[in-house]
Amino acid sequence: MTSKPAAAAAQATVYGYPRQGPDRELKKAIEGYWKGRVTADALRETAAELRRSNWRRLVDAGVHEVPTGDFSYYDHVLDTSVMVGAVPGRHREAVASDALDGYFAMARGTQDVAPLEMTKWFDTNYHYLVPELGPDTVFTADSTKQVGELEEALALGHTARPVLVGPVTYLLLAKPAPGVAADFEPLTLLDRLLPVYAEVLADLRAAGAQWVQLDEPALVQDRTPAELNAANRAYRDLGALTDRPQLLVASYFDRLGEALPILAKAPVEGLALDFTGAAAANLDDLAAVGGLPGKRLVAGVVNGRNIWINDYEKSLATLATLLGLAGRVDVAASCSLLHVPLDTAPEKDIDPEILRWLAFARQKTAEVVTLAKGLARGTEAVAAEIAANRAALASRAGSPLTRDPVVRARAEAVTDADGRRSQPYAERAAAQRAHLGLPLLPTTTIGSFPQTGELRTARADLRAGRIDTAGYEERIRAEIGEVIAFQEKTGIDVLVHGEPERNDMVQYFAEQLTGYLATQHGWVQSYGTRYVRPPVLAGDISRPEPMTVRWTSYAQSLTGRPVKGMLTGPVTMLAWSFVRDDQPLGDTARQVALALRDEVHDLEASGTSVIQVDEPALRETLPLRAADHADYLAWATESFRLTTSGVRPDTQIHTHMCYAEYGDIVQAIDDLDADVISLEAARSHMQVAHELAAHGYPREAGPGVYDIHSPRVPGAEEAAELLRTGLKAIPAERLWVNPDCGLKTRAWPETRASLENLVAAARTVRAELPAS
């Protein structure tokens, strides 16, 4: 394919860049600040240097316009709440006293004040802090961060574009503040919010902004006529302002659909659209509305969410078509590069042939620059890059890693019966009660216990050869013994081994399954200072040998109480990996499910009576458009049942989910046919318990009473009150008592105190139950 140069030279840009630094410098500085080892000034300087480094790297790569405002100490939605003055009343005194400490208090809470609720950012594994709004909310502009970071970039000589969460998305992401009626709609505050955005835009223009990007990803979801009308009003009013920069309204993660004609006709100077995956439909939709004559189109043709290399010829063909649909076409990744690791270069343990297939943020930036060059100067200008890209794509397509005939034959032989338990729930429940002998309101935890510095050091020492395997395993046995002894002493009913041997709930399994690749430096932000290294699911999946039986059996040998076997479910194994894009997700999920089914069988055979298969990603992976839900939920729930349905009736299957909105997948939760589900509920005040009750959910559930993402220790009466709230929705014979999530990120002192209070709360409420 040969293309002619674009009439107006295309430019390269990105919407955001990983925040953490090459060695997670930001995480270390923030956590050092929390512990009093790093001063506020030192933290600010670390952050400033990371911003400078990111901009310098982007400009050196050939990016014409760098983003500002995408950097955050914790979360960009929380930054937006600060920008518009939407600080919850319980945090205002702390914010007024010390803005930085108050900011972190909103994110993490304090011993006396609860944090903001946290949930998933659309269908990603990034978490944002949910704004709390009410009819009395008063918005006030504070553009200090946004202006300051713009001025930093301009002072360095960069062309910079501030990036803000758009007003419509901000309100659609918000929820009613505590004490506000549940049916309050934050979007009704739009007319109150727009003047604040106008003030921020004027401040940015005064500081030198030529363009400002307003992100409106919420508009790619199904929206009501009222919500679409709000978007129309918002950009009619903002576009009509005279004291403002040029406006670029951005969407990503899916096609804009009904919102596209509204934004195309709005009096703004440009749109940024995603043209990857399902969002490729934006191309035809844009043509159908007559394009963007005289306006700027930023075309997201490089996938910003996955790590596979771009197909240059396909992207250049898309870009060539777009040239006829806009006054100017620039090139970008489909979304912020926040969702991918920083650089493939340090990955020395991955086969160089396979490494050619991968593109992290730095490589994706180079792809954007190459495509912009090809669009601006013609394909001859990037002929060498296209040839190398074509060869890398062919290498991947022909690799034996991607095709295992044995795995494929087994997956094709699966029948409907393989995904059904042998007895209905009522009969299983009776068998499990007789077998396990648990009290009403049984207590348990979600799986992990604190990963201490000693454990991390032992793992690092093993990798570096400073200790041998025997020494490492002795440390693991000692840790398991301590965890079991603590749980027995505290009075927990169903125990866990604490997972001291596991580095991550997905990576640990990925490293033991064929078809997965592990990175050493592929860190991605999940929330705040929590970073994960998603493995790369590159080929067909199988399990060469048992993965968890040894340590679970050892833990069970130390106690007469049941110890849960702990596995990560197939949907989460996909969602929290960089998953292959060369076959349907359902096919890949079935392969993972069969590998996990073997592990479930071996756990049961070893004497494990309670097996938990975590699926925290079930909701986050739900497609953004309702029309796509049924197909996804069909293969997602089938893969869970395929994992768990081969056990005896008296083996109790648990699952766990956290930090998402569950109301619209309650039927899918029911379809999993798990005997017990535990869910995050502490920050949302048991909302999910009422959603389960409204659905008529028939099985057992443990809505969490301990928010583990905050360092505060909930009192026994606080936990008891949450339990009483839960009992209004779920009867005592089906209600479990547990934390919201695993305890890996917490310290031992707060863990001990919190679990002791949790058990005390269960005993208190158990004593209040009427005699049977």
Q: Which of the residues are catalytic?
A: 709
CB 563 within 8 A of CB 609: no
Euclidean distance between the first and the last CA atom of the chain, given in angstroms as a whole number: 78
Q: Is 696 left (phi over 0), alpha (psi -120 to 50) or beta?
A: left
- The two structure tokens encoding residue 337: 């590069």
CB 497 within 8 A of CB 552: yes
CB 700 within 8 A of CB 676: yes
- The two structure tokens encoding residue 274: 């995603």
Residue with tokens 């180079």: 366
**724 CB contacts (<8 Å, ≥6 apart)?**
765, 768
List of long-range contacts for 646-650, beta carbons under 8 Å, 24+ apart: 646/418, 646/597, 646/600, 646/601, 647/421, 647/600, 647/601, 647/604, 647/611, 648/422, 648/604, 649/421, 649/422, 649/423, 649/427, 649/428, 649/431, 649/432, 650/428, 650/431, 650/432, 650/434, 650/435, 650/609
CB 246 within 8 A of CB 211: yes
* Exposed/middle/buried for residue 425 (C-beta within 10 Å: 0-12, 13-18, 19+): middle
Residue 338: which H helix or E strand, with range? none
Residue with tokens 């309050």: 184
Give the distance between the most distant pair of CA atoms in the chain.
83
d(CA 94, CA 115): 12
Amino acid code (one letter) for 641: R
- The two structure tokens encoding residue 168: 């419509």
d(CA 760, CA 596): 35
Residue with tokens 């076997």: 565
